[in-house]
Chains A and B, each alone.
Chain A
């Protein structure tokens, strides 16, 4: 049964060792499977893809019954069991009903007794296995001992990003075979990315199919070496930040067109790497800031990384549309969150009396930056205090109306404020809120409405 391993090795470069081990463990359905295999590694290291391909091969070549499921989907045990039974069931008939683990194990046992299944293998793969810990207490132990319980030739493969130690609980678990998929190093990553060169080239040629001149240049310039050079440059920027291969693949594809642009225009030679580098460095760096974000531009707009990434705090605060009073409420909330309540009188009342200077206060005033309340994070405040500060900082007089009060809940909905406690009893005044926005943001909002926030912060007095 060497075929499974060898055919997968071309599909998954740099995973030869793992494929070899898997092949030894579950490569042959005639031999006894281990009870459970635990496959772990970071995201983007090929756990799921590898397992899926492996199971598919097994099902095709050796008529093994396989099930692949995602633990996130299984918000109840019943759903998980039904999915498992559906994909493991010997023939397609009406879906079997199971309500609990006992029924499930019984059902599997019945298959054991049935004819023709003695030699058959069963493989179950569970993605995001860490979620199994939060499910019913019996799920994880049963899955790990399923072979023993059903006396079928059955193996459960758990896939997760965590090491198996994190699964231990009080009652203990039976031992599993752990298999770690390490992250790819830089050379391996480049090899993997480079492996789809033919595909990329074909795509490019297709893209320029109707533009003869470009097609010619493209044909000539895009060689394996050119592509590898590009990947080298690309990884020199990205490898430090991201090792998720699919993500890298996607971003590399996006940036390639920019890299290729001057070559296609005829302004630069395909071999002039240093100048090509100078051209691509900027776009690559800006692409780095929005990796994983997957913001897609409509086809009519050209790829323009700078415009999307113009989301500085300043811009954000100015673009956020809020009614006038809501802005003041937000500022009041920020002030309430970042000033001590006993300072309110000094800050907001006109005749607050003289403050006596004592050595103690002077010493206390000499604040170091880690004592600053703006850096310590927001404190909670009550709605009464919020409204009091709101009225103090607003010059005009406004009534305390429903419209005003409903703004508070709007701000909570927008997640600019959040409840700390007492969300249930807003009525008796014990609910406490917190302001979740930062200093920079609130300064910008203050600027929009013409209010100097800094002046009212104890930290800056």
Chain B
């Protein structure tokens, strides 16, 4: 470091070749090596489970991003065309071209959409873009300033190719720029200086949350923009969450006649979610699965609470983390070949984790050789030898499950009233949660299917077969165990197809052979105890008769062939492959995440419940000895003051007398020993503690001091 030539004492800044801390420099610096970016230490990052987690998450995330990019693409293309098209168009007098993008609610999600738009426009070098948030536009002055600032500062498009000279001009402009200087006049001169005749970018202003803007600011802003339309090529993009009526409701005639509005519709959030679910989460590519309940839980949050796809993906990510954090054994949750490689790395503890899985027990129980049981339970190496087969069974099961799901979706998805559910995700949840074959919904479906006419039935089943075949070739075949999966499924599908052929050939003629019922029909009414009993028995009998009658009438060739087909489907596909989770092969827990309680606790915030627990039972959080309670409603003097006051206030009605409260507080805190000693004299220390606790309770929003009644507090919660 050079010494300074200054004679005075002081601090001196040495720049050491440092550049101005601009956007570019910061962008470059902010890219540390991938390993160290994690909050977690090296010892965690290098574990196999973490590596596997990262791989799985990146894969899923990329897939989703790609999918969303493609689904946005169409609207975005139109929008970009619109913006660029305004450039060629001879600008009409004082009419502001405006695009209204109907985005649907949940605006935080849409920011990504607008970022994508910005990037595209930058890529085409067609526009300068300024995203104007409503929080920056409390007043017209603030709005115009941030608008101009945003437009001038927005130079992402220029960075790469621009020659130095022009950048310098921009630099100089920027240095001069202060917030208070950002006026339309400034913008005009900046535009005239920086963009000469040949290359004139549009100035795009995006308002992502139209509804949140104050109406008056927005009106004035639009009037100003439209007044400058002649000289500056503005294009306004509005992100509208509700409907076009919101726009017309906000803008009066004299404003709305200043804009030229084009409406763009984006994909609805539920459709977007369905796409993500079906293409990504239900894709057979990934070894990680969500259990039916977890899956339902996450979609429930989406559909019932917030419509946020981003939120859903984060929830999914949380499940993924939670799953892999279970230990290195969960690193096996990956492709078959990779998992085989990982088996060798497993330690004794990991093997114990596997042995402790709930589904491991039935596996052990079904081995009928004592020695082998002991070997499985104690000898790690033996189990390691066994593992590949188990993993293979598991993975294959999921592939078969997924393929059969495809068949079932086509089969029952469009039945009237959709007893089992219409969408693939609903069916997935149903099939995982319970044995579908025995459920009444499935029986209803079968009944409805058997009511179909011959043509309908045949075409339906062949459509199902086609779809499944298609799925097998498109998605399954490329996978590692794809061939095995196809080998299992193909003969079954073949047999179903044959049976369908039988249906085609079958005639409608009735067969004479009515099934001879083997069940013993009680000839006479067994001892009838009461009128009630008699009635029940009669009812039951008539029901049986009806059943028999039905079976007899539909025994045509066709009906029997149809029944046979349905039975085949039932046994092969549904009973065989669409088994509920508890019947899945052993160690399926390695692949399926089902710890719904943890997820629920961690991703859904319940502030009121948490506060109640904390105050009602401080031991839950503090884990201290003094606050242990046998009963929730118990009052102990050793509890924190706030907690005591809270519990006392729970017993009161709407109005709480402070003096009574204080007395109760005193008796709890000081114990009941000196009750009659000094009834009038209250220890000032206790009074101070009480006052403080009440103030804290008020701060938490549970009570309010009443103005109507002296020395009373009002309860605010119930």
Which residue numbers of A lie inside 8 Å of B, CB to CB?
Answer: 43, 70, 72-73, 75-76, 79, 82-83, 86, 244, 246-247, 292-298, 311, 316, 319-326, 384, 398-407, 410, 413-416, 427-429
In the complex, chain B residues whose CB is within 8 Å of the CB of A83: 185
Least Cβ–Cβ distance between A280 and chain B, in angstroms: 23
In this complex, the member of B140, B242, B254, B609 whose beta carbon has the largest number of chain A beta carbons within 10 angstroms is B242
Q: Given A292-B256, A296-B261, A316-B245, does the pair A70, B304 have CB atoms closer than 8 Å?
A: no
Please tell me if the beta carbons of A323 and B211 are within 8 angstroms of each other in the complex: no
B338 within 8 A of A: no
In the complex, chain A residues whose CB is within 8 Å of the CB of B241: 413-414
Contact residue among A244, A320, A406 (Cβ-Cβ distance under 8 Å from B257): A244
In the complex, chain A residues whose CB is within 8 Å of the CB of B141: 75-76
- B contact patch SS: helix
Please report the C-alpha to C-alpha distance between residue A410 and residue B307 in the assembled complex, in whole angstroms.
11
Contact residue among A79, A319, A428 (Cβ-Cβ distance under 8 Å from B704): A428
In the complex, chain A residues whose CB is within 8 Å of the CB of B388: none
Least Cβ–Cβ distance between A374 and chain B, in angstroms: 20
Least Cβ–Cβ distance between B221 and chain A, in angstroms: 9
Chain A residue at minimal CB-CB distance from B300: A324
Please tell me if the beta carbons of A404 and B245 are within 8 angstroms of each other in the complex: no
B533 within 8 A of A: no
Please report the C-alpha to C-alpha distance between residue A406 and residue B307 in the assembled complex, in whole angstroms.
12
- Determine, out of B329-337, B504-512, B600-608, the stretch whose residues face the partner at the interface: B600-608
Please tell me if the beta carbons of B257 and A402 are within 8 angstroms of each other in the complex: no
B303 within 8 A of A: yes
Please report the C-alpha to C-alpha distance between residue A410 and residue B608 in the assembled complex, in whole angstroms.
19
Please report the C-alpha to C-alpha distance between residue A396 and residue B254 in the assembled complex, in whole angstroms.
48
Least Cβ–Cβ distance between A399 and chain B, in angstroms: 6
Q: Given A292-B256, A406-B306, A415-B246, does the pair A400, B609 have CB atoms closer than 8 Å?
A: yes
Least Cβ–Cβ distance between A387 and chain B, in angstroms: 10
Contact residue among B262, B263, B305 (Cβ-Cβ distance under 8 Å from A404): B305
Please tell me if the beta carbons of B224 and A294 are within 8 angstroms of each other in the complex: no
B269 within 8 A of A: yes
Contact residue among B106, B243, B259, B701 (Cβ-Cβ distance under 8 Å from A320): B243
Please tell me if the beta carbons of A321 and B256 are within 8 angstroms of each other in the complex: no
Chain A residue at minimal CB-CB distance from B103: A321
Please tell me if the beta carbons of A324 and B303 are within 8 angstroms of each other in the complex: yes
Please tell me if the beta carbons of A321 and B269 are within 8 angstroms of each other in the complex: yes
In the complex, chain B residues whose CB is within 8 Å of the CB of A86: 185
Please tell me if the beta carbons of A294 and B259 are within 8 angstroms of each other in the complex: yes
Please report the C-alpha to C-alpha distance between residue A320 and residue B270 in the assembled complex, in whole angstroms.
12
Please tell me if the beta carbons of A298 and B261 are within 8 angstroms of each other in the complex: no
Please report the C-alpha to C-alpha distance between residue A87 and residue B305 in the assembled complex, in whole angstroms.
56
Please tell me if the beta carbons of A402 and B604 are within 8 angstroms of each other in the complex: yes
Please tell me if the beta carbons of A403 and B305 are within 8 angstroms of each other in the complex: yes
In the complex, chain A residues whose CB is within 8 Å of the CB of B209: 413
In the complex, chain B residues whose CB is within 8 Å of the CB of A320: 242-243
Please tell me if the beta carbons of A322 and B105 are within 8 angstroms of each other in the complex: yes
**15 residue pairs from A and B, CB less than 8 Å apart:** A70-B224, A295-B262, A297-B262, A311-B243, A321-B105, A325-B304, A384-B716, A399-B606, A400-B609, A407-B306, A414-B105, A415-B211, A415-B242, A415-B246, A429-B701
Please report the C-alpha to C-alpha distance between residue A214 and residue B707 in the assembled complex, in whole angstroms.
83
In the complex, chain A residues whose CB is within 8 Å of the CB of B303: 323-324
Please tell me if the beta carbons of B257 and A407 are within 8 angstroms of each other in the complex: no
Q: Tell me which residues from 183 to 211 in chain B have a Cβ below 8 Å from any Cβ of chain A.
A: 183-185, 209, 211
B462 within 8 A of A: no
Closest 6 CB pairs of A and B: A402-B605, A403-B305, A324-B304, A292-B253, A429-B716, A401-B606
B268 within 8 A of A: yes
Interface residue count on the B side (C-beta < 8 Å): 58
Q: Given A82-B185, A324-B304, does the pair A294, B245 have CB atoms closer than 8 Å?
A: no
Please tell me if the beta carbons of A294 and B306 are within 8 angstroms of each other in the complex: no
In this complex, the member of A82, A322, A413, A416 whose beta carbon has the largest number of chain B beta carbons within 10 angstroms is A413
Please tell me if the beta carbons of B305 and A323 are within 8 angstroms of each other in the complex: yes
Least Cβ–Cβ distance between B539 and chain A, in angstroms: 32
Please report the C-alpha to C-alpha distance between residue A320 and residue B254 in the assembled complex, in whole angstroms.
27
Please tell me if the beta carbons of B256 and A293 are within 8 angstroms of each other in the complex: yes
Contact residue among B107, B243, B606 (Cβ-Cβ distance under 8 Å from A400): B606
Contact residue among B185, B224, B243, B256 (Cβ-Cβ distance under 8 Å from A319): B243
B78 within 8 A of A: yes
Please tell me if the beta carbons of B223 and A295 are within 8 angstroms of each other in the complex: no
Please tell me if the beta carbons of A321 and B270 are within 8 angstroms of each other in the complex: yes
Please report the C-alpha to C-alpha distance between residue A109 and residue B612 in the assembled complex, in whole angstroms.
74
Q: Given A293-B261, A428-B704, does the pair A72, B224 have CB atoms closer than 8 Å?
A: yes
Please report the C-alpha to C-alpha distance between residue A403 and residue B606 in the assembled complex, in whole angstroms.
8
Least Cβ–Cβ distance between A330 and chain B, in angstroms: 12
In the complex, chain B residues whose CB is within 8 Å of the CB of A401: 604-606
B260 within 8 A of A: yes
Chain B residue at minimal CB-CB distance from A416: B242
In the complex, chain A residues whose CB is within 8 Å of the CB of B95: 294
With A293-B261, A403-B604 known, 14 other A-B pairs at CB within 8 A are: A73-B224, A75-B139, A295-B262, A321-B268, A321-B270, A399-B606, A399-B609, A402-B606, A403-B605, A414-B105, A414-B211, A414-B242, A415-B242, A429-B701
Please tell me if the beta carbons of A413 and B107 are within 8 angstroms of each other in the complex: yes
In the complex, chain A residues whose CB is within 8 Å of the CB of B245: 311, 316
B645 within 8 A of A: no
Please tell me if the beta carbons of A410 and B105 are within 8 angstroms of each other in the complex: yes
Please report the C-alpha to C-alpha distance between residue A322 and residue B301 in the assembled complex, in whole angstroms.
13
In the complex, chain B residues whose CB is within 8 Å of the CB of A324: 303-304
Contact residue among A82, A296, A413 (Cβ-Cβ distance under 8 Å from B262): A296
Please tell me if the beta carbons of B262 and A298 are within 8 angstroms of each other in the complex: yes
Least Cβ–Cβ distance between B518 and chain A, in angstroms: 45
Q: Given A293-B248, A316-B245, A403-B604, does the pair A325, B305 have CB atoms closer than 8 Å?
A: yes
Please tell me if the beta carbons of A292 and B257 are within 8 angstroms of each other in the complex: yes
Chain B residue at minimal CB-CB distance from A402: B605
Please report the C-alpha to C-alpha distance between residue A86 and residue B185 in the assembled complex, in whole angstroms.
10
In the complex, chain A residues whose CB is within 8 Å of the CB of B253: 292
Please report the C-alpha to C-alpha distance between residue A321 and residue B269 in the assembled complex, in whole angstroms.
8
Least Cβ–Cβ distance between B279 and chain A, in angstroms: 21
Chain A residue at minimal CB-CB distance from B301: A403
Q: Tell me which residues from 218 to 268 in chain B have a Cβ below 8 Å from any Cβ of chain A.
A: 220, 223-224, 227, 241-246, 248, 253-254, 256-257, 259-263, 268
In the complex, chain B residues whose CB is within 8 Å of the CB of A311: 243-245
Least Cβ–Cβ distance between A201 and chain B, in angstroms: 19
In this complex, the member of B183, B259, B604 whose beta carbon has the largest number of chain A beta carbons within 10 angstroms is B183
Contact residue among B144, B211, B261, B609 (Cβ-Cβ distance under 8 Å from A295): B261
Please tell me if the beta carbons of A298 and B78 are within 8 angstroms of each other in the complex: yes
B104 within 8 A of A: yes
In the complex, chain B residues whose CB is within 8 Å of the CB of A402: 604-607
Q: Given A247-B257, A323-B305, does the pair A70, B104 have CB atoms closer than 8 Å?
A: no
Chain A residue at minimal CB-CB distance from B262: A296
B448 within 8 A of A: no
In the complex, chain A residues whose CB is within 8 Å of the CB of B246: 415
B212 within 8 A of A: yes
Please report the C-alpha to C-alpha distance between residue A70 and residue B184 in the assembled complex, in whole angstroms.
12
In the complex, chain B residues whose CB is within 8 Å of the CB of A295: 244, 261-263
In the complex, chain B residues whose CB is within 8 Å of the CB of A416: 242
In the complex, chain B residues whose CB is within 8 Å of the CB of A427: 701
In the complex, chain A residues whose CB is within 8 Å of the CB of B607: 402, 405
Least Cβ–Cβ distance between B196 and chain A, in angstroms: 19
In the complex, chain B residues whose CB is within 8 Å of the CB of A326: 105, 305
Chain B residue at minimal CB-CB distance from A426: B701
Please tell me if the beta carbons of A316 and B243 are within 8 angstroms of each other in the complex: yes
Please tell me if the beta carbons of A294 and B305 are within 8 angstroms of each other in the complex: no
Please report the C-alpha to C-alpha distance between residue A322 and residue B716 in the assembled complex, in whole angstroms.
30
Least Cβ–Cβ distance between B173 and chain A, in angstroms: 15
Please report the C-alpha to C-alpha distance between residue A323 and residue B95 in the assembled complex, in whole angstroms.
37
Please report the C-alpha to C-alpha distance between residue A426 and residue B444 in the assembled complex, in whole angstroms.
51
Least Cβ–Cβ distance between B91 and chain A, in angstroms: 15
Least Cβ–Cβ distance between B109 and chain A, in angstroms: 12
Please report the C-alpha to C-alpha distance between residue A295 and residue B701 in the assembled complex, in whole angstroms.
49
In this complex, the member of A247, A292, A384, A407 whose beta carbon has the largest number of chain B beta carbons within 10 angstroms is A292
